[in-house]
Amino acid sequence: MELLTRWTLYALPWIMLFVMAGPLPGRLRDEGVAGGLAWAQLGLAAVQSVLAIPLLRRGIEHRRREREVPWGLLALATVAMVAGQGAGVALLSTVGAPDGSAFMTAATMNTLPFSLSCALLLSVRAFTLLHAGIGAATLAALAVAGEGPFMVVGSAFAVLLMAALALFTVRSSIWMLVVMWELDASREVQARLAVAEERLRFGRDLHDVMGRNLAVIALKSELAVQLARRGRPEAAEQMAEVQRIAQESQREVRDVVRGYRGADLQVELAGARSVLRAARVDCRIEYPGGDGGEDGGADGGWDGDGGWAGGLPAAVRSALGWVVREGTTNVLRHAEAARCTVRVGLGRAADGGRTAVLVMENDGVSDLGTSASAGTAGSAGNGLKGLRERLAPLGGTLWSGPGEGGTYRLRAELPLSADPGGEGRRGREGREGRQGREGREGRQGREGGGV
């Protein structure tokens, strides 16, 4: 497209030179002044056609803001145009009015290359003023030469009409080129954004995967050290658990790299209960869709309209699973909690739509811990920021802050209709890849005892 437009503009002055020369070549055989003036006008028109090629090229580059206006070359083209118009007026005065129509075509042929170049290099206002001056100068020169009113007005009008056509043709062609350039630029930006988005996804998933697992490994290792110092045989069991979590982390990191990793709400709830109880945190989970454990059948605040008959969409389960995972990490890192409650229930949005609501509340939060958990500007953590990025495409919201009685509360709400393309598939693939782990963590959570 760009190559076609460029060469069309380059060829246009030469095409018009041959089409609009009219009877001027017939004057080349004349003797004396008339023949010399005909040669001069035709030669100057050819010079302008030659100068039009670099001027048009510079004009296109100027429109792309790659180069400045070549004022020197433009001044040279102006001199050639003025000289050609002067030669045409002199030739008309020499041969007389019968060749008036020939002068009109020759005048427009003489100004066309200059007009094409100026349409790219000058603003519309400057172009209009310049060509109004050219038309007025042509009108004045013909009037001084004693030509009739028709010749005077017709020649000036022909020059102005050709300038307007040149402006429209060039500007419309360049407009199409600009649209094409912007489209190419947008594709490049889109490619860069896709790379940046993938980097953010990888960083967010790596933080979510390794954050909790490393916190659990640190907790289990510390517990194993204390048990080993007391000579307790349970130390070996804790270190075996550390080994299992490390191997699980390896698998999850590989899933992150492949881009097919998901999170399941029920699995994450079982894991959170197991980890928090190991940290001596009284963990209560109120999840009507649970596995039948002692917390699983509690009333999680559903509105009674349909209950759990249809289950949660895969995208909602996955998103809430990430919220549980990050909330558990925050409890372990930023709080000295004695109790933690996780409630999953139904709610109503402002527009009346059904939503899934997850509330995670814990005590033992200091001012520093509250700031770190909330992910404020002074905090180094990015977990809650990543959660908001996960929930936003699903139309979900995330709120974190102080709760009642000196507690810290994390609340996520998602519309039940949220299931963008591909999310459910990734969640299913992730769950299928972790069925063994789900069973182990579910059994571990049930073996931990009631709360």
How confident is the model over 143-166, as pLDDT tens digits? 877 777 877 887 788 888 888 888
Structure tokens at 220: 């289990």
Query: Higher pLDDT residue, 373 or 412?
Result: 412
Average pLDDT over residues 62-72: 80
Q: What radius of gyration do the chain's Cα atoms show?
A: 40
Measured between alpha carbons, how far is 328 from 345 in angstroms, rounded to an integer? 18
Average pLDDT over residues 72-91: 82
Angle of the 71-95 helix axis to the 124-144 helix axis, nearest 10? 30
Average pLDDT over residues 14-32: 66
Structure tokens at 269: 């709830």
153-204 residue pLDDT tens: 877 888 888 888 888 888 888 888 888 888 888 877 877 776 677 677 677 7
Answer whether 297's CB lies under 8 Å from 286's CB.
Answer: no
Q: pTM score > 0.85 for this model? A: no
Answer whether 344's CB lies under 8 Å from 320's CB.
Answer: yes
**CA dist 254 → 199, 212, 244, 250, 261 (Å):** 15, 16, 16, 6, 9
**What is the DSSP secondary structure assignment for residue 393, as one 8-state letter?**
G
Average pLDDT over residues 70-86: 85
Question: Residue 284 forms beta bridges with which residues?
Answer: 341
Q: How many helices (H) and strands (E) does the chain have?
A: 13, 5
Element (H, E) at 356: strand 354-362
Average pLDDT over residues 306-313: 58
Q: Is 342 exposed, middle or buried (0-12, 13-18, 19+ CB in 10 A)?
A: buried
Q: Which pLDDT does position 144 carry in this prediction?
A: 79
Residue 437, pLDDT > 60, answer no
Instruction: Report which of 184, 186, 183, 171 is spatially closest to residue 5, judged by C-alpha positions.
Output: 171
Q: Which residues contact 165 (CB under 8 A, 6 or more apart)?
A: none
Residue 328, pLDDT > 90, answer no
Measured between alpha carbons, how far is 387 from 375 in angstroms, rounded to an integer? 11
Going by pLDDT thresholds of 50, 70 and 90, the confidence category of residue 249 is confident
Instruction: Report which of 112, 110, 101 is spatially closest to residue 80, judged by C-alpha positions.
Output: 110
Residue 97, pLDDT > 90, answer no
Q: Which pLDDT does position 29 carry in this prediction?
A: 61
